[in-house]
Structure 1
Amino acid sequence: MTRLIPSVLCAALLSLSAAAQPPSDLPKKPADKDSPGPFRIAPAIWPVFRGDATMTGVGTAKLPDQLEERWTFKTGDAIEGSPIIAGEVVYVASLDKHLYAIELATGKQKWKVKLGAMKASPGMKGNRIYVGNLEGVFHCVNAADGKLLWKFEADGEITAAANFHGENIIFGSHDSNLYCLNPEGKKVWATPVDGPINSTAAVVGDRTFATGCENGVLHVIDAKTGKELGNIDLGGSTVTTAAVVGDWVYASMVSNQVVGADLKGLKKVWSFEAPKRQQPFQSSPAVTTGLVIAGSRDKKVYALDAKTGEQKWNFVTEGQVDASPVIVGDRVYVGCLSDDGNFYVLDLKTGKKIQELQLFSPVVGSVAVGPDSILVGTDKGLLYCLGKK
């Protein structure tokens, strides 16, 4: 086990498609284009929660065989969301009410802006960063300097991250609405669902996918108009983000299930239930070729067959797993809620532990994947950059 000693003094460092057949491979991520304006921002590497618009949690970086601490950055409160990465800059939101921009290479702060307490992950499009707060205010800031460009007020707190359809921004609120705004912050549409929205809406083509946390219905919505195109009863409540791969959608349920559903037939195909402890799945699944990876509050990470839901392996952790796993190559990266902040690198095919690190505080948020490193925040407000020193 590797014990990482936080380098807190490091310069106030980094304030962190056949019907019903799973596809043989994931679609390639579209290139992110810069928006016109006075600043030029490098294309985003990890622009949204879970890495891309489909919410699959899959990265393409070349990571070292063994992770080491490059630097840490200290914020004033917990980091519960995922960072995002564009070029040589990392952006992370904290419950200390600030959004931070940090140099990826050094962990040094470039700027910070006070936006209110935030659990949501930021999202990036062009040269703008978008993030909501616990007061229900959704912000747009300039990525170069943190200047506030506009804000939009919902009627409930915002813990879901932003996603994008073209130039429009899509996000959910605890007021039970899925919102679509244009780049100027004007409402294009708002669609009510069955309860508060905690999860980020996946976007595929001209469709977006939203779940409220009350009755476990997945809503398929026209991303242009906000009109509901159909829905799927997932069989239980959910607070996590669903991943879409081809004609399949995968979701983790508070009611102790992971579900695979057919988007063409609008029906649930399989449901996996953890057999013993009956604990919620509160981490969003990661999906790659043939496998669904999900963490549970029963202190296990599960690998399931994407077509059948059959369990392939499980790995026992030192704490409940609310953090959403990420897949890079043939490895799984995930943290847990142990006091020691145990963070694991697992073999994707077997579930065998490759490496274990200690981050000294519970890990709630998901990993962001950079070109040759990963970034993850902790309950004590530390953002870690892990790679090769």
Structure 2
Amino acid sequence: MLLRAGGFFLQHLVLSVVLILLTGCASMGDLGISNFVDLLSNKDEVEINEEEIAALKALPQIPILWQLGLNKSEIAVFSPIYENGAVYAADAKGQLVRLDPATGKENWQVETEHKLSGGVGAGHGMILIGTFKGEVLAFDEMGNERWKARVTSEVLSPPQVDSGVVIARSGDGRIFGLDAADGKRKWVYQGPTPALTMRNFTSVLIYRGAVFAGLAGGKLIAMNLVNGNVGWEATVSQPRGVTELERMTDIAGLPVIDDQQVCAVAYNGRIACFEIADGNQIWARDASSNVGLTMDNNNVYVSEDRGAVVAYDKRSGAMMWKQAKLGSRKLSAPLVVRGALLAVGDAEGNVSLLRRHDGSLVARAATDGSAILSRPEYIPDGFVVQTSKGGIYAFAAQ
């Protein structure tokens, strides 16, 4: 359901929802993903004219490699992951599957008997998913359960693993370091939490023994993977405005990194890049995204919350191009794919390919008409997406 901004009804609805949230009578989950994101988008809905619609329909079709169906998700956001020659995917009813990335053939399926809320994470021989009861479930690559650990609330994002430590984020804003061998808690981080925050499906980035995490309130932190000690904290965006809704500026999406810098983007705030070693700011620009960004050797690419993909020079922050004719105001985070292309999904279940050097549209494909909320995922022959209805679609990137 789309809600138009600017009307008398929406203004009063937003106020009512905020009051409910602040008094603790409802959770973000009660509102649903798409409804809450629309409420946050306090901007006019982007109008697409007939010429633009015709241009989108005239684009070449992205070749589809294979597709299959899992169960739909009303609240949780799931993303397939490619790891060690296989694709792993999960759904809200508790299915975890391993697929052949070339054909989509199912190698095995596990009925976890849990209502899943986040996944899939993978690495170092482990497959990781989270539940609404605050459980982290760890499996091996053959689908055998290794352990189950409990954190303090629902696990909305894919847990990550490296160097013997599993990192899981809970819905109450905490970040947990768990022993990869048995799931026992090694450390926990909890920073200050604003009065009103977005329902965040974003995981963490692990790089060279450090954990980089975007927080509510516009902060980006770097922590030691082994003990959870904070190395530095940087401000991506400062809260602005009078009301709690106006001041909401949570970090959206996963940070991106190279050998010199780490970048993040905030809702209703800025995109900023920082030096890895000490968190000193390199550059920052005004921007707003509720899904995130990606990076290649030259640029940082952001899916903005009004339906545009914008490229910034990653060294200077200069805007290189903007593509705003994608036919939807709600996009997924973009993925860098081979052939100098970007792949991005949208709320209507479409996938678009853009040229990285100028943002021009190359090709497009439809899925099942339901939202693609997570970033497309790399596979050797292209990329794969998961829709809210549970559809898994693999496309060739040519």
With the shorter chain as reference, the TM-score category is: 0.7 to 0.9
Deviations 1:197-242 (A, max 9, x none): 64222122222112222x1111221112111122101124213211
Q: Give the corresponding residue for 1:147.
A: 144
Q: Give the corresponding residue for 1:81.
A: 78
Q: Give the corresponding residue for 1:237.
A: 250
> Counterpart of 1:157 in 2: which secondary structure?
coil
Q: Give the corresponding residue for 1:113.
A: 111
Deviations 1:232-256 (A, max 9, x none): 0112421321112223111121114
Q: Give the corresponding residue for 1:309.
A: 317
2:343 counterpart of 1:333: yes
> Is the CA contact 1:69–1:388 (under 8 Å) kept in the aligned structure 2?
no
| d(CA) in 2 for partners of 1:289, 1:88 | 25
1:66: how far off?
A: 6.7
Q: How does 1:1-389 map to 2 (within 5 A)?
A: 67-78=62-73, 80-109=77-106, 110-144=108-142, 146-182=143-179, 183-195=181-193, 198-213=201-216, 215-235=217-237, 236-274=249-287, 280-316=288-324, 317-329=326-338, 330-338=340-348, 341-359=349-367, 360-387=369-396
Letter of the aligned partner of 2:309 in structure 1? V
Letter of the aligned partner of 1:77 in structure 2? K
TM-score after normalising by structure 2: 0.74
* Structure 1 range deviating more: 283-292 or 194-203: 194-203
| d(CA) in 2 for partners of 1:170, 1:358 | 34
Change (3 A) 1:111 1:250: same
> Is the CA contact 2:165–2:225 (under 8 Å) kept in the aligned structure 1?
no
* Structure 1 range deviating more: 241-250 or 194-203: 194-203
Letter of the aligned partner of 1:268 in structure 2? Q
Q: Give the corresponding residue for 1:24.
A: none
> Is the CA contact 2:188–2:228 (under 8 Å) kept in the aligned structure 1?
yes
Greater RCO (Cα-Cα under 8 Å, separation 6 or more): 1
Letter of the aligned partner of 2:289 in structure 1? F
Deviations 1:330-376 (A, max 9, x none): 110111112xx221111000101110111122211111111113111
Unaligned runs of 5+ in 1: 1-64, 275-279
1:115: how far off?
A: 5.0
TM-score after normalising by structure 1: 0.75
1:325: how far off?
A: 0.8
Following TM superposition, where does structure 1 have runs of at least 4 consecutive aligned residues deviating by more than 6 angstroms? none
| d(CA) in 1 for partners of 2:397, 2:252 | 34
1:157: how far off?
A: 1.2
> Counterpart of 2:202 in 1: which secondary structure?
coil
1:308: how far off?
A: 2.2
> Counterpart of 2:292 in 1: which secondary structure?
coil
> Is the CA contact 2:165–2:226 (under 8 Å) kept in the aligned structure 1?
no
CA radius of gyration, larger in = 2
| d(CA) in 1 for partners of 2:292, 2:131 | 20
Q: Give the corresponding residue for 2:57.
A: none
Letter of the aligned partner of 2:313 in structure 1? D
> Is the CA contact 1:218–1:233 (under 8 Å) kept in the aligned structure 2?
yes
| d(CA) in 2 for partners of 1:118, 1:240 | 20
| d(CA) in 2 for partners of 1:333, 1:289 | 16
Change (3 A) 1:229 1:86: closer
| d(CA) in 2 for partners of 1:291, 1:90 | 28
> Size of the alignment, in residue pairs?
316
Unaligned runs of 5+ in 2: 1-59, 238-248
> Is the CA contact 2:77–2:156 (under 8 Å) kept in the aligned structure 1?
no
> Counterpart of 1:241 in 2: which secondary structure?
strand
| d(CA) in 1 for partners of 2:276, 2:84 | 35
Task: Give the root-mean-square deviation of aligned CA atoms.
Answer: 2.3
* Structure 1 range deviating more: 347-356 or 316-325: 316-325
| d(CA) in 1 for partners of 2:268, 2:395 | 33
Letter of the aligned partner of 1:293 in structure 2? Y
1:124: how far off?
A: 1.7
